[in-house]
């Protein structure tokens, strides 16, 4: 446990006083009326998730699902719940779109309601939600609630791709401690800190659909981190194909070469990137790799999807940007290398 406590990328949870969790009355992605109290007798893992989030929320979602899977058959005694934390996207179609994009449609209940209903729930659970410069900012909190409806632990998701599986293990251990017989987890791994792989490190990633993609110092590069679920909030297909124009300019020696890296740790399935690229209908003129462990994302400081990082020949990050850019703006930024 000492390793976990000393892991800055992992929140091992804070104990709550066992008070009764405030009840919640909202509707799920199917339009069904739901109440937290209807899940008495089950351990509930409750999170607050922005239905259009492209940064920390997908990490929360994956850790919840993996935690339940680690419990094996005992996972049937655990209920996953999400509450929408985006005041600008609260329709049932919003929570369904997020659930579909992350492979969660039938894995959880993602709840929403009127602005007044949601604000009341946020207040009851001390969740801060605000809009800053058009961006949603909210407390990335996750609660474990026992079978009697009492709050046991609160966790805050860290912006670290390598710790998703570790967070899942911590959650699963807490849930197991509350379940009859304290079921063993299907697997356990180290909870010690996992360092990222910075641009100065020489790395070879698996390519999509095959081959390998080398990264590291020696030449300037533009790295574009993405995940296929970004298609929920933007025209991913159009943006990926538009980058062929950048790749063409790079081949003529005017710009650093482009490499796209799929964030495999947050994808709904291991083959998501390959399946998505196959469905594009047109080939990409630049290599695509998969960051299966998240170490590259952490080492390059990825904090959103998509995330652009411009690296000099010596392995120094000289520019970074979250979100899509027009081709002229991207080319202008890439000339900084």
Give the model's pLDDT for residue 277.
97
Calculate mean pLDDT across residues 179-205. Answer: 97
145 band by pLDDT with thresholds 50, 70 and 90: very high
333 CB-side CA count, 13 A: 22
| Domain match, 113 and 39 both | yes
- State yes or no: pLDDT of 81 exceeds 80: yes
Q: Last residue of some domain: 143, 178, 213?
A: 178
Q: Please list, in sequence order, all residues whose beta carbon lies within 8 angstroms of the beta carbon of residue 134, skipping any fewer than 6 positions away.
A: none
Any bridge partners for residue 197, and if so which? none
The percent helix, strand, coil of the chain (3-state, each to 5) is 35, 25, 45
Give the model's pLDDT for residue 253.
79
| Domain match, 85 and 221 both | no
The Cα–Cα gap between 287 and 208 comes to: 8
Q: Which domain holds residue 312?
A: 203-334
Cβ distance 118 to 25 under 8 Å? no
Indicate the DSSP class of residue 316: -
pTM: 0.95
- State yes or no: pLDDT of 134 exceeds 80: no
| Domain match, 70 and 215 both | no
2 band by pLDDT with thresholds 50, 70 and 90: confident
- State yes or no: pLDDT of 11 exceeds 90: yes
268 CB-side CA count, 13 A: 17
Q: What is the mean pLDDT of the chain?
A: 96
pLDDT tens digits, residue range 234-274? Answer: 999 999 999 999 999 999 878 999 999 999 999 999 999 99
Q: Last residue of some domain: 178, 213, 245?
A: 178
pLDDT tens digits, residue range 297-313? Answer: 999 999 999 999 999 99
Residue 271 sits in a domain of what CATH number? 3.40.30.10
Using the structure block, give the residue that is written with the tokens 């080939």.
283
| Domain match, 108 and 161 both | yes
Strands 307-311, 317-322: pairing kind: antiparallel
Structural domain tally of the chain?
2
Q: Last residue of some domain: 135, 163, 178?
A: 178
Give the model's pLDDT for residue 136.
83
- State yes or no: pLDDT of 131 exceeds 90: no
**Closest listed residue to residue 125, CA positions, set 108, 143, 146, 152:** 143
């Amino acid at each position: 446990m000492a390793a976990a406590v000393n892991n800055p990328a992992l929140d091992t949870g804070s104990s709550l006083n066992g008070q009764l969790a405030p009840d919640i009355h909202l509707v799920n992605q199917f339009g069904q009326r739901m109440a937290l109290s209807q899940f008495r007798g089950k351990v509930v893992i409750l999170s607050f998730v922005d239905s259009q989030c492209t940064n920390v929320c997908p990490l929360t979602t994956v850790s919840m699902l993996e935690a339940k899977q680690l419990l094996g058959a005992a996972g049937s005694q655990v209920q996953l719940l999400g509450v929408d934390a985006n005041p600008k996207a609260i329709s049932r179609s919003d929570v369904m779109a997020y659930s579909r994009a992350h492979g969660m449609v039938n894995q959880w209940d993602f709840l929403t309601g009127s602005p007044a209903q949601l604000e009341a729930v946020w207040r009851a659970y001390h969740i801060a939600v605000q809009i800053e410069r058009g961006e949603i900012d909210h407390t990335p909190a996750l609660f474990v609630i026992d079978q009697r409806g009492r709050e046991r632990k609160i966790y805050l998701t860290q912006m670290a791709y390598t710790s998703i599986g570790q967070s899942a293990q911590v959650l699963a251990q807490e849930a197991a401690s509350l379940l009859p017989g304290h079921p063993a987890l299907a697997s356990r791994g180290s909870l010690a800190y996992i360092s990222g792989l910075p641009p100065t490190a020489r790395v070879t990633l698996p390519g999509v659909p095959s081959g390998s993609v080398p990264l590291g110092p020696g030449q300037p590069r533009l790295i574009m981190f993405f995940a296929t679920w970004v298609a929920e909030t933007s025209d991913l297909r159009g943006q990926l194909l538009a980058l062929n124009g950048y790749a063409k300019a790079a081949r003529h020696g005017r710009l650093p070469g482009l490499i796209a890296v799929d964030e495999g740790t947050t994808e709904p399935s291991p083959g998501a990137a390959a399946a998505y690229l196959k469905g594009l209908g047109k080939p990409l003129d630049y290599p695509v790799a998969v960051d299966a462990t998240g170490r590259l994302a952490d080492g390059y400081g990825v904090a959103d999807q998509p995330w652009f990082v411009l690296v000099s020949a010596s392995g120094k990050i000289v520019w970074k940007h979250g979100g899509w850019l027009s081709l002229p703006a991207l080319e202008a930024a890439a000339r900084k290398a």
